[in-house]
Structure 1
Amino acid sequence: MMQESHFENSSMQTAMRLRNQINTLITFLTPLLPLANCHMVEMFTLNHWEKLVPKPLKDTLEDMQLNDCIEKFWNCASNSECSDASEFAVWIKNAQSHYVSINNDYCLNLEQLQNRFAKWGGQMKPEILITEFMSSKKSYELQVQTMSHLVASLHNSTHSTCCVEAGGGRGHLPVALTLGYGIPSLTIDCADKTIEAAAVRIKIIQKQWHAIAKRVENGIQGRINDSINKNLHRFASAYITRDTDLASIVREKFPEQTDIRVLLTGLHTCGNLGPDSLRIFAAQPAVKAVFNVPCCYHLLTEEVDAAMFDVFERDFGSGHKMDEGFPMSQYLKGYNLGRNARMLAAQSIDRVVYQKQLPDRSLLYRAILQVIIRQHLPNFTIPEGKLKRLSTKCHGFRDYFKMADSALNLGLYDNLSESYLADIVAQMDVQWKQTVLFYLLRLCLAQVVEGVILLDRLLFLFENGFKDVFLVKLFDPVLSPRCHSIVAVR
């Protein structure tokens, strides 16, 4: 009884600490939400630079050359020991101080997660590297390699009988789980055509498995000679909501299983699929654990944009009751981030800093085009996606304007005076500086917004009585911007 009381007190303390951190994040973020929620297209029409950048910071940046500002950003954003005390450096460091970090309480690194598995009585499994038939992106190959052996280890720790992948699409993760570890796995996806294509693809992989798969232990790759069971990976077509009965689907697809104990996983669960996976775990006793990597925060639904539907809801979700994707916790009920802020949360400051990647100049061109249209055709609305990839075909703003004018049938390019266009071009150096710096300032908030979303999900699980709940930093954020996962055990 004393030990149980200790665990309850420890869990309450962790939940309280989590609430305190969420408070710190939203206290910092809330006044800056107009900046996070603005649209770069309206950079000049709505005068973002003057209205949304704090005046001391704006004055400092205006007194500096653009190249000096950029170098300062790279240095301060990549160096935790940066001693620069300028307004710009303080902005960067203040934002970074609100990023989620490893704390060994509810946010773990990989080694700490593995220690948890051992504590729960599980055995760590070796990694499986599939060298072909994966995505063309090396990052995704590494993600599957990293996550599959951790999911297999959690499966062992929780004595699960089946791994269910939510929104698995092509079934990359279960391929490693079934062929590499012999774990019965079920991929559930809402698109029948995707499932059909995945089933064909997996049969090809099964035939070539021993040629394309390697077992990785202590950094050393070795051949896999174990025989494989080709009937362990199965598919089901369903649109997943909080009410989806996973045990019934598993029982239908695996009739040989009598004791259903599900490990629910998902690598890059888009939009509301991530929150609904956690709701399923909380509500259905047959789901013994969840291992979820979220993605596509802009596709979450909030109260402020409840009328907006993502592509999955539009195409597959008709007739299903939709829960809000954010917030999940009772503690944050009534708090809203906004769609543009959630879209910002999907951007990677780590990758931008590592690659020293400035925004494409088309961002400036598009914002200037918006000014021209507002001045001369104030009632005209640009159809979504109409100018997509236009910048790859043009050389300079005039070329961009001419192509956009033709694509949108504006009738402006040939009717505007040369002096008008010359004045626009003359201002572009100043406007480019503002665009670049505004982009970088705003980017600093991305991980703060993401932190609120992730910690809200953790708190939801604590509010529902779970104690073994963790945020785990799985991947290199340069390779995989969505580098955190949520791991919880019933």
Structure 2
Amino acid sequence: MKPSSCSLVDIQQRIDEVMQFLSVTLPIANAHTVEFYTQDVWKRFMAVSPEEVLSAVTPNSDRKMEPERRRTEPSGTMFGFCSHSNRLLDTHEFLQGAKAHSLPGLEVCMSRSDFLLELQGNWSKSTVLPGIVTELEADEFMNSKKSHEVQSMSEVVAGLARHSGVKQVIDVGSGKGYLSSFLSLQYGLQVYGIDSSSTNTHGAQERNRKLKKFYRVYQKQAKAGRTRGEATAQRGSEKVEPELKEDEDALCVDASRNESQEEEGLPIISSSPAAGRQTELSPDSEELFLSALSADVLEPASPRVPPSQLSDEEKERRKRENVERKAQSRRDGASDVFSPLTSYVTAETELRELITELEDAVMVGLHTCGNLAPSTLRMFVAKPELAAVCSVGCCYHLLSEEFDPAGPESLDRSCGFPLSQYLHDRSCFCGRNARMSACLALERVSLGQGIQMESLFYRAVLHVILRDHYGSYKSDRRVGNVYSKAKSFLDYVRRALRKLELDESKLSDNDIQDYHDKYRPRMAEMHAFNMLKVTIAPCIEGLILLDRLCYLKEQLCADFCVRPRGKGGKTLKEALDVC
């Protein structure tokens, strides 16, 4: 987004537009798939056929490619919905409304490349940031999906750091430390990675140790490769064998040392006479390193525990571990490599107590789940030492909502949504199912990825069986992931009934199969309905993100906005114009 071109009034106007669209469509997003048949959801919301919906949302369909063929919107409708029955009458109008009320349609977005140019100003795009040691390819160190995210994010963060004139970065929710390590090695930034899970920080420490070793050899071999290339160009076809300076941490080892290296999960690069010295990383060594770094060798992270619930012993243990980790980094001469710290971060966290060497810094978060994303924005507003913030939130279903009808309203304003005073005054509420759908991408779902339709169908039909044969059955037990183990619908139902501890003898195999055969022809309804839910998803996500931007803009009215922030002496207003 480009806040400098959107005033607070502009943002509030966009919010009003999205809320108007969602006032009509949000009930679809909040409809529970489990109750699809028991509540006859299709009939409640739809006055069109599932075939029409699927045709409209399918990529390259004639209906989407030729809008002039659409029928005229019936009178008394809003965004394709009947004003009286609230049922969908015009799929095309609905799709047009969804597109217009997503962030691109609201014209409040700018591309990543344009944003980087905005940060760089008159700098050349090829300009190397201060502190960069050598050009790295992110896929040398992690799988393709993660490397794409890390490389894209790190370029933006480095640009923010340069624009703000700072060299420190605080990576909140750093997890396994991929982004932190890359920022440190690629851009020479001093990075503090904070995660609430000690398992993650210990794992990040170990990965960082391996990464430093690999990186040293990466530098040496890249330099040796350049030397060989220059010498070859000068001497024609004469073979040049550059000598690599021996280093106790180097990974170019003799065959006799390979066994111990394999135990650490490090890449093996042979230096035996038979093999000859390699000046470039072999594919095999890259794969070994990728498996060492990218494999999910950590145990599942334990639930995050707020500091107020930690025992004094646990607080002291974490503090001691953080101090020891910093001391070890100094002994290793790795001050430029990130320091993983264990702490549960909230808006009230005192960063200077956690990081004693803290200077002005950029706060970042890649996949900051649930309330952690709004917490980083609250911290940015409250902490003068934070010169910029770059947060990519995720897991919207984990956001706590202040005006959730299912629970009491929060009195301490610590909920994740709404964040802005503007939406707070309107008691804005989305709902968990709606926020869950906001996590999905229409592009992936339309290609058959992201939603297991058969699994949802099985669960919905099971709900019909429970209603018909077990009355008003309720239990604290959950069906869980029975589908992945089931060989058929019959097997699925049997497994589910056993897990729920219900009497299987009430149903014969034929009874169960009859339910499947009865509802199977209506599976297209569920498929079409879920496609509509996913179509609304970008609008729900847009409302959440506009709320966060509105919150930042609202702070411009506060007294502290005129205080200088960061080494460059920027006010919060100046920081927001580029953040």
In structure 2, what residue type is equivalent to 1:444? T
CA gap 1:41/1:77 in 2 versus in 1, 3 angstroms: farther
CA distance in 1, matches of 2:550, 2:106: 16
Partner of 1:312: none
In structure 1, what residue type is equivalent to 2:139? T
Instruction: Note the residue ranges of structure 2 that are not aligned, 5 or more in a row.
Output: 72-89, 223-228, 230-278, 282-331, 557-571
Is structure 2 residue 354 aligned with structure 1 residue 249? yes
Partner of 1:42: 35
Residue by residue over 1:310-346, the C-alpha shift from the partner in whole angstroms, topping out at 9 and shown as x without a partner, is xxxxxxxxxx967010111111111111111111111
* Bigger Cα Rg: 2
CA distance in 1, matches of 2:280, 2:377: 34
Cα drift, residue 25 of structure 1: 0.5
Is structure 2 residue 555 aligned with structure 1 residue 464? yes
CA distance in 2, matches of 1:95, 1:161: 41
Partner of 1:347: 440
Residue by residue over 1:415-467, the C-alpha shift from the partner in whole angstroms, topping out at 9 and shown as x without a partner, is 22566445423322332121111111111111110000001101110111154
CA gap 1:406/1:191 in 2 versus in 1, 3 angstroms: same
CA distance in 1, matches of 2:549, 2:99: 21
Partner of 1:85: 70
Structure having the higher strand fraction is 1
CA distance in 2, matches of 1:326, 1:278: 12
Q: Contact 1:300 / 1:325 at 8 angstroms: preserved in 2? A: yes
Please point out which of 386, 389, 397 is paired with 1:290: 389
Residue by residue over 1:200-250, the C-alpha shift from the partner in whole angstroms, topping out at 9 and shown as x without a partner, is 111011100155689x9xxxxx9999xx96222112221111111223433
Please point out which of 487, 490, 496 is paired with 1:395: 487
Partner of 2:371: 272
Is structure 2 residue 549 aligned with structure 1 residue 450? no
Q: Contact 1:148 / 1:176 at 8 angstroms: preserved in 2? A: yes
Q: Secondary structure at the match of 1:263?
A: strand
CA distance in 1, matches of 2:528, 2:62: 17
Cα drift, residue 394 of structure 1: 2.5
Q: Contact 1:262 / 1:288 at 8 angstroms: preserved in 2? A: yes
CA distance in 1, matches of 2:62, 2:341: 44
Is structure 2 residue 403 aligned with structure 1 residue 410? no
Cα drift, residue 387 of structure 1: 2.8
Residue by residue over 1:377-409, the C-alpha shift from the partner in whole angstroms, topping out at 9 and shown as x without a partner, is 234335465431x22232332222122222222
Cα drift, residue 90 of structure 1: 2.9
CA distance in 2, matches of 1:247, 1:129: 33
CA distance in 2, matches of 1:76, 1:24: 28
CA gap 1:433/1:208 in 2 versus in 1, 3 angstroms: same
Percent sequence identity is: 29
CA gap 1:418/1:306 in 2 versus in 1, 3 angstroms: closer
Partner of 1:5: none
Which deviates further from its counterpart, 337-346 or 229-238? 229-238
Which deviates further from its counterpart, 125-134 or 428-437? 125-134
Partner of 1:219: none
In structure 1, what residue type is equivalent to 2:97? N
CA distance in 2, matches of 1:306, 1:98: 25
CA distance in 2, matches of 1:44, 1:269: 35
Partner of 2:270: none
Q: Secondary structure at the match of 2:380?
A: helix
Partner of 2:522: 431
Is structure 2 residue 274 aligned with structure 1 residue 169? no
For 1:309-324, what aligned pairs fall within 5 Å after superposition?
323-324=414-415
Give me the TM-score of the superposition, normalised by structure 2: 0.67
In structure 2, what residue type is equivalent to 1:244? T
Is structure 2 residue 473 aligned with structure 1 residue 380? yes
Residue by residue over 1:144-176, the C-alpha shift from the partner in whole angstroms, topping out at 9 and shown as x without a partner, is 011112211211110113100011111111101
Q: Secondary structure at the match of 2:499?
A: helix
CA RMSD of aligned residues (A): 3.4
Cα drift, residue 268 of structure 1: 0.7
Give me the TM-score of the superposition, normalised by structure 1: 0.78
CA distance in 2, matches of 1:79, 1:288: 48
CA distance in 1, matches of 2:186, 2:412: 38
